[in-house]
Amino acid sequence: MKVLLVGGGAREHALALGLQADPEVTEIHCAPGNAGIAEIATIHPVSVSDNAAIVELARQLNVDLVVVGPELPLVNGIADELRAAGFATFGPSKAAAQLEGSKNFAKEVMHDAGVATARSATCTNRIQIEKALDEFGAPYVVKDDGLAGGKGVVVTDDRDIALAHALSCTTVVIEEFLDGPEISLFGISDGKTIIAMEPAQDFKRAFNGDEGPNTGGMGAYSPLPWAPSDIIEQTRHDVLAPMIAEMAARGTPFVGLLYAGLSLTDHGVRVIEFNARFGDPETQVLVPRLKTPLGMLLYKAATRNLDGVKLEWRKESAVTVVLAAKGYPSDPQTVGTISTMPAIPDTHVFYAGGGRILSITGIGEDLTEARDRAYRGISQIVLDGSFYRTDIALNASVAEKGN
Ligand code: AMP
Ligand code: GLY
């Protein structure tokens, strides 16, 4: 099977590694890829935002499957164009990707599907905004309605900061604060059946001790020994399956990866957000743990054939630490040097780009060993002071999450 992977970050590097391990996958192509991906795939200098050029590339290569990594091309309708050209595509249509593209749309679908989430108000003017801030109270949760790369959300006790952020958005969702540990749980969907993956925890804040601005994610680990034992089945039953059924009923089936960001509150599981693609950096811990061949799994989803498929996982743990450029996320200074990557046993180094330079995943018998390996990997990569990384705490406590 010939696969074209769209994207060029650490997530796509991890997906490429998973595809490479699948004996059914004979060729991997990636657009645009990166220097790390180039070691295991043929890379093509085509931008992820050029739908026509991606379709043309798929045609020239005559691929059997296209896997779309990032949200931007999905929200721009790349999957629709690929399907129209006859390619099996893992990634939702433009209409289905609105679950990520619009927080307001996601709230509507959750409401219709009976999926539990934070109470919220969608506001477009100052009067509505102030009313919602006062109704929900502190900590204030203020979300730009559109795509913002995980950076359009402000959670603060300071009403002035909350108000200023809300006023800077055209449409803003203000919601109640969900108090509980956060997890990411992904489902692989063929539009009617959805298979839940194992959960991971992501570290959103830039600095140690849960401080600093929200980022795309500074690290992740899996499995979560502290999570309730039925969390996978519960999330599949209460969250993922109803969303897939609702999207199908609306005539916009969701084919691809449905990412549920969840808060495990005292009142039960609540959805914080949905994304329409694999998470970054969660993918960097999940792919190395997944035993089920990735290429065939995504092909079965893309061709609506997931019935009866069960996922198998390695018992090992994985911890990813992101190496970010100084100033990330607001003003990444991409100066500095990293040595040629040494091969470190039980460690994967995934190349990224932009503010998040690399993801280093350690694999171990348990999470502590995996984390030691990830940090040891970082210390073996020569770098100057232009980079930083955060401490990854391995427990459920929000206060100690350490991101
Ligand atoms: P989102 O882009 O919606 O995932 O929000 C980014 C981050 O903001 C989440 O990962 C949470 O850490 C935080 N957040 C978002 N919504 C809430 C909420 N209702 N309650 C508490 N924290 C939230
Ligand atoms: N790790 C968060 C995200 O992928 O959006």
Q: How far is the CA of 160 from the centre of ligand 1 (A)?
A: 19
Indicate whether 32 pLDDT > 80: yes
CA–CA dist 256, 276 (Å, integer): 7
pLDDT (0 to 100) of residue 343 = 78
102, 136, 155: residue to mutate for ligand 1 pocket, most atoms within 8 A of CB: 155
Pocket-forming residues, ligand 2, beta carbon under 6 Å:
150, 202, 216-217, 275, 279-280, 282
- Residue 399's pLDDT is 35
Tens digit of each residue's pLDDT (9 = 90 or more) over 220-278:
999 999 999 999 999 999 999 999 999 999 999 999 999 999 999 999 999 999 999 99
Confidence at residue 47, expressed as pLDDT on a 0 to 100 scale = 97
Question: Partners of 154 in the beta sheet?
Answer: 142
Model confidence at 280: pLDDT above 90: yes
Dist CA 64 CA 356 (whole Å): 31
Q: In angstroms, rounded to a whole number, what is the distance separating the alpha carbons of residues 325 and 329?
A: 8
Q: 41 alpha carbon to ligand 1 midpoint, in Å? A: 35
Distance CA(277)–CA(67), nearest Å, equals 10
- Reply yes or no on whether the pLDDT at 339 is more than 70: no
Place 210 in a pLDDT band, splitting at 50, 70 and 90.
confident
All domains of the chain, ordered by start, with CATH? 2-94 (3.40.50.20), 119-175 (3.30.1490.20)
The atom of ligand 2 lying closest to the CA of 281 is 1
Joined together, the tokens standing for residue 217 give 């994610």
Which ligand neighbours the alpha carbon of 219 most closely? 2
* Residues 127 and 285: beta-carbon distance below 8 Å: no
Q: Give which of 282, 71, 74 is closest to 186, Cα–Cα.
A: 282
**pLDDT band, very low/low/confident/very high, at 103 (cuts 50, 70, 90):** confident
Residues touching ligand 1 (Cβ under 6 Å) are 118, 141, 143, 150, 153, 155, 175, 177-178, 182, 204, 214, 261, 272-273
Closest protein CA for atom 13 of ligand 1? 155
Ligand found nearest the CA of 147: 1
Report pLDDT for 276.
Answer: 98
- Peptide bond before residue 45 is cis, with ω within 30 degrees of 0: no
Q: How many angstroms does the Cα of residue 263 sit away from the middle of ligand 1?
A: 9
Closest atom, ligand 1, to C-alpha of 120? 19
The overall average pLDDT reported for the chain is 92
The closest ligand to the CA of 282 turns out to be: 2
Q: How far is the CA of 147 from the centre of ligand 2 (A)?
A: 12
Distance CA 66, CA 43 (A): 14
Higher pLDDT: 385 or 31? It is 31
